[in-house]
Amino acid sequence: MDKFVLDQAEGLRRLLTNAGSRVVAVAGGPAGIGCTSTVANLAAALAIHGRDVLVIDERQNAGSLSKMLGLNDTGALASVMSGRRFLQDAVTRTPFGFSLLAAPRDERISHDAGQCRALLDGPADIVLIDSQLDRNGALSSLAAQAHDFLIVTRVAAAAITEAYACMKRLHYAHAIGQFRVLVNHVQNATDAVTAFENLSGVASRYLAVSLAQAGYVAEDARVSRARELARCAVEAFPATPAARDYRQIAAELLHWPMRPAPLRRDDIERGMTAMKGAGDGQSECRAGAPAARELSSTASM
């Protein structure tokens, strides 16, 4: 390796020595549940609170944050991970106060967990990852290093069931014992609380995982309108109910207790072996008959 690359790598290591970034991986059910809007608005709200926020966009589809903002800096993540560029030179500073780094799949898969951890321990106060799950419902090596795993759902039977199935896959793939849940598109607080309690009870009984309530966001057409304008609701329509909810969740996020460090790779591999022994991949992707029956009660809300 030539001296330039070595110097760049050393510079990156020095840049990342201020370890302490809180990393939150955001995932959810099918398209339209609001994961990307959640990431964008929480990032903007955290920036309003004076935090240095980095958003890592793994999705890279037509509705991704990178596409919304017209970001086309392919190779940025790979150049940082290899030490060819400094992190601050690779990110894009958005008009909403946070930085954005595109992380397409072909740039993520060539790096191990240790390299990902080094990137995430950078100078940002908070790193939000708009996670793209693989075909088996597992996180990338990057997102698997998060301290917190935020599941976005909504008050509907299908969405709640899918949220449970998502947590089940992540639990077996990564040995995650706690998730935070944000209920999106809420028409009244009572329904949000009922949906969370239903999901939490089923997850506790059938998965032995604990759920923490991250909050809820009101149904608000101006969230979609803000996206059409390539903006965030908390910035474009700050007085709306959804914007107020995002700011409240962001303020509470700053005080979430920090989870323990992620498990080592061999621990995760043992968990994946146990998952294979429990049944075939198709059965693991379903919520499971007993759990599904309990979750179906959400439909009556």
- Which pLDDT score is estimated for 139? 92
Secondary structure (3-state) at 181: strand
DSSP 259: P
Q: With cut-offs at 50, 70 and 90, classify the pLDDT of residue 88.
A: confident
Residue 106 covered by a domain: yes
Structural tokens at position 157: 């039977």
Whether residue 125 contacts residue 92, with contact meaning beta carbons closer than 8 Å, is answered with: no
Residue 2 covered by a domain: no
- Separation in Å, CA 204 to CA 212, 223, 291, 298: 11, 32, 11, 17
Place of tokens 């339209």: 32
Count of domains observed in the chain = 1
Residue 225 covered by a domain: yes
Residue 10 covered by a domain: no
- Residue 268 pLDDT greater than 60, yes or no: no
pLDDT tens for each residue of 32-79: 899 999 999 999 999 999 999 999 999 878 788 988 888 776 788 888
What is the reported pTM? 0.82
Residue 231 covered by a domain: yes
Whether residue 169 contacts residue 157, with contact meaning beta carbons closer than 8 Å, is answered with: no
pLDDT tens for each residue of 97-138: 999 998 888 777 766 667 777 677 778 899 999 999 998 899
Residue 1 covered by a domain: no
Residue 250 covered by a domain: yes
Q: Give the domain CATH number at 145.
A: 3.40.50.300
Tell me the β-bridge partners of 148.
24
Place of tokens 């009870």: 201
Q: What percent of the chain has pLDDT over 70?
A: 77
Least confident of 117-121, 142-146, 204-208, 253-257: 117-121
Higher pLDDT, 40 or 90: 40
Residue 224 covered by a domain: yes
Q: Residue 222 belongs to what domain range?
A: 16-300
CA atoms of 92 and 99, how far apart (whole Å): 5
